[in-house]
Amino acid sequence: MDLIADFAGILLGGLAAGTVLFIVSVGLSVTMGLMGFVNLAHGAFAMFGGYVIVLAMNRAHVGFIAALALGFVATAALSVILERSLYRRLYRAGELDQVLFTIGLVFVFIAATILIVGPESQTLQLPPALGGQLNLGFTQYRTYSVFLIGVGFAIALGIWLGFERTRIGAQIRATVDNRRMAESLGINVDRLFTITFAFGSGMAGVGGGLGAEFLGLDPQYALKYLVYFLIVVSVGGLGSVIGVYYAALLLGVLDFVLKLYLPQGGTMFIYALTILLLLWRPQGLFGRKEL
Amino acid sequence: MSDAARSAAPAAIAPRLDHPAARVLMRRHHLRWWEALPWLAAMVFYFAFPDYLGFGTELLIAILFALSLDLALGYAGIVTLGHAAFFGAGAYAVGMLAFYGIWTEPITSLSLAAATAAVIGLLSGLVLLRTGGLTLLMLTLCTMALLEEAANMARAYTGGFDGLPSLPIAPVFGVFEFNPLYANTQYLYTLGALLICFAFVRTLIYSPFGQSLTGIRENLLRMHAVGSPVRRRLVVCYTISAALAGVAGGLWAQTNAYVNLSVLDLDRSATVLIILILGGHGRLYGAFVGAVVYLALEHFLAQIYPTAWQLGLGILLVLIALFARNGILGLGETLWRRYGTRLDGS
């Protein structure tokens, strides 16, 4: 194997993993930026969506794209119900209560998944069109990874345009910057938050499904990758789509390289880098607001 | 100053000492009779349930660990998700010293465990306690994960994922041996360590230092305004809390005679947080109540119905966060007050 193919393989694998991290974490970043709510149950939403997508495909034989749409809608609907009934009561509470509440929620999700579906891990059957290898000219690589990178870029672009060019995007940016001022200007922050929470959770659900192929999908998913989602959000900066995109891709590539060359404890460097970065810039790489 | 003013000053203060609030304040650090109950209960447990002393030892260690967190989180308001870092540091200090035959005497080993954890607490506290809120939460979490991965990476010294098995621990005072089948020595030894640490924490809480910690938790700006050295107080408190967590970790390694990566993981940090909040944080005895309730439930339910246990625990945490923010003790206090006022009224 030549050097370029090697390098491209590592880069593409890392970017694909980073793309999944981005799709899952972007909602968390925006909702944390808006409300300052420490939502440790975000990974549980990703898990829920992943299960809906995988089960819809494996048991009900729904098509891949339709299953992704179903996962988005189901996760968004569930998150709205939870937000309206429970989350709402804790917006003014301290971080400690929010941490406790969302950890409790994660336990409920994990136990419910074991009770309803079972403790075994689920496998995603990719549609044949995405199964094989793709010739990129300079190297051969898995079609699915290339597909993921493309989808992630499209989503990042879409969300960024939505943020910068639409009315609701402007309202979100205004509220992240200064919530009180935004409220006094007549922006309905409650409604805005419900919408972004639903959208963000829906995206997490889609991410859970898209990533199931190589991150795996079992009831412990809700906790297993939580630290990574939090790192992406805090490194990227709260409420910054671009920041989360760069942070996720960076983390994906770094993690891929370290797992390859330093399988024993190589992730240590990721934590060390995160600590240094947060000490240097507590607001993250692209954030305008302190965490 | 005139004579009249000089004699008026004590006269103005003297009657206030009779004020009910003044009496409560002056006596609040006094020992009350019910404070003997936990220790009596521990001794009753020793004689009544000789078969459950292993479980009892685990319980006492959990109390000490939760107590150490209470100092940082309950009193100083430092919200951390990485307290297992110090528990693990203490456990690995004891474990590595014993495994390589460098030092096996238990009591001095515990002091070394405390010192190791304190150094890590001091170094990380100096850097991390500049931040607050979510950043602090992330930084403590990452510090713990960093230590866990470091322990995993240095497998030549720490045994990596498998840990260090069958640690040789010398007898306590050169006489009482740790017997893996009968945990009598382990139980009494842990109880003694807990009593000493508890007496220390209790004294600390009611000292001016302890009072200033509560002040920092309740109103940071005001403490800055009155000239309290806030950052230094927080770092010292964090270091002491780390040292106590290190003692708990050292006890864990000694009484189990092994150490592995589980002493450093997120699970342990989350569990101790849950125990403390369940019992009630910032109230000294919350650690006791929380640990007893949590471990008793876990011990008897988790083995038989692991999934239902997790579901029940999850629902319990959600309910506590929504309705009982001061834990079981806080709930009891509210009920007691309501009941008490009704008695007064009738």
Flag whether B346 is in a domain. Answer: no
What gap in Å lies between CA B87 and CA B97, rounded to an integer? 16
Q: Which of B179, B175, B194, B294 is nearest to B250 (CA)?
A: B194
Q: pLDDT of A172-190, one tens digit each?
A: 888 888 888 888 998 888 8
Min Cα–Cα distance to chain B from A150, Å: 30
- Say what percent of chain A tops pLDDT 90: 34
Min Cα–Cα distance to chain B from A269, Å: 8
User: pTM to 2 decimals?
Assistant: 0.87
- What pLDDT shows up at residue A248? 93
- What pLDDT shows up at residue B13? 53
Min Cα–Cα distance to chain B from A17, Å: 20
- What pLDDT shows up at residue A31? 81
Mean pLDDT over residues A42-64, rounded?
A: 92
ipTM of the complex: 0.86
Number of A/B CB contacts below 8 angstroms equals 138
In CATH, what number is assigned to the domain containing residue A195?
A: 1.10.3470
- What pLDDT shows up at residue B5? 47
Flag whether A101 is in a domain. Answer: yes
Flag whether A290 is in a domain. Answer: no
Q: pLDDT of A202-227, one tens digit each?
A: 999 999 999 888 888 988 888 888 88
Q: How high is the mean pLDDT of chain A?
A: 87
In the predicted structure, residue A137 carries a pLDDT above the cut 80? no
User: What chain A residue is nearest to B142 in terms of C-alpha separation?
Assistant: A271
DSSP secondary structure letters along B220-260: HHHHHHTT--HHHHHHHHHHHHHHHHHHHHHHHHHHHT-B-
In the predicted structure, residue A192 carries a pLDDT above the cut 80? yes
Flag whether B327 is in a domain. Answer: no
Flag whether B86 is in a domain. Answer: yes
Flag whether B251 is in a domain. Answer: yes
Q: Which residues of A touch B145 (CB under 8 A)?
A: 227, 267, 271
Flag whether A132 is in a domain. Answer: no
Flag whether B110 is in a domain. Answer: yes
Q: pLDDT of A88-115, one tens digit each?
A: 888 888 888 888 899 999 999 999 999 9
Q: Are B135 and A103 an interchain contact pair (Cβ–Cβ within 8 Å)?
A: no
What is the count of structural domains for chain B? Answer: 1
Q: Which of B229, B277, B231, B218 is nearest to B83 (CA)?
A: B277
Check if B153 contacts A (Cβ < 8 Å): yes
What gap in Å lies between CA A236 and CA A248, rounded to an integer? 8
Q: Are B311 and A105 an interchain contact pair (Cβ–Cβ within 8 Å)?
A: no
Q: Residue A133, SS3?
A: strand
- What pLDDT shows up at residue A289? 60
- What pLDDT shows up at residue B1? 42
Flag whether A152 is in a domain. Answer: yes
Angle between helix A64-85 and helix A42-58 axes, rounded to 10 deg: 140
Flag whether B297 is in a domain. Answer: no
Structure tokens at B325: 């923010």
In the predicted structure, residue A159 carries a pLDDT above the cut 80? yes
Q: Which residues of B touch A86 (CB under 8 A)?
A: 318, 322
Check if A195 contacts B (Cβ < 8 Å): no
Q: Which residues of A touch B266 (CB under 8 A)?
A: 223, 227
User: What chain A residue is nearest to B327 in terms of C-alpha separation?
Assistant: A97
Q: Of B123, B127, B134, B218, which to mutate for an interface test with A (greatest number of A Cβ within 10 Å)?
A: B134
Flag whether A287 is in a domain. Answer: no
Flag whether A288 is in a domain. Answer: no
Structure tokens at A24: 């899952």
Min Cα–Cα distance to chain A from B294, Å: 14
What is the count of structural domains for chain A? Answer: 1
Check if B120 contacts A (Cβ < 8 Å): no
- What pLDDT shows up at residue B2? 47
Domain hosting residue A17, numbered range:
8-124+139-280
Check if A114 contacts B (Cβ < 8 Å): yes
Mean pLDDT over residues A120-132, rounded?
A: 82
- What pLDDT shows up at residue B70? 94
In the predicted structure, residue A238 carries a pLDDT above the cut 90? no
Check if A101 contacts B (Cβ < 8 Å): yes
Check if A127 contacts B (Cβ < 8 Å): no
Flag whether B179 is in a domain. Answer: yes
Domain hosting residue B56, numbered range:
34-262
- In tens digits, what is the pLDDT along chain B, a chain of 346 residues? 445 444 445 545 555 677 777 777 777 778 888 888 889 888 888 888 888 888 999 999 999 999 999 999 989 989 898 999 999 999 999 999 988 888 888 888 999 999 999 999 999 999 888 887 788 888 999 999 999 988 988 888 888 888 888 778 878 787 787 877 778 888 989 999 999 999 999 999 999 898 899 888 888 889 888 888 888 999 999 999 999 999 999 999 999 888 998 899 888 999 999 999 888 888 889 999 999 999 988 887 877 888 888 888 899 889 888 887 778 888 888 888 877 665 544 3
**Where do the H-state alpha helices sit in A36-165?**
42-58, 64-85, 95-116, 143-165
Check if B301 contacts A (Cβ < 8 Å): no
Flag whether A255 is in a domain. Answer: yes
Q: Are A264 and B320 an interchain contact pair (Cβ–Cβ within 8 Å)?
A: no
Check if B127 contacts A (Cβ < 8 Å): yes
Check if A44 contacts B (Cβ < 8 Å): no
Check if B331 contacts A (Cβ < 8 Å): no
Q: Which of A74-83, A93-102, A257-266, B253-262 reaches the highest mean pLDDT?
A: A74-83
Q: Which residues of B touch A267 (CB under 8 A)?
A: 145, 149
Flag whether B272 is in a domain. Answer: no
**CA distances (Å), B208 to each of A20, A140, B70, B75, B214, in order?**
51, 69, 17, 13, 10
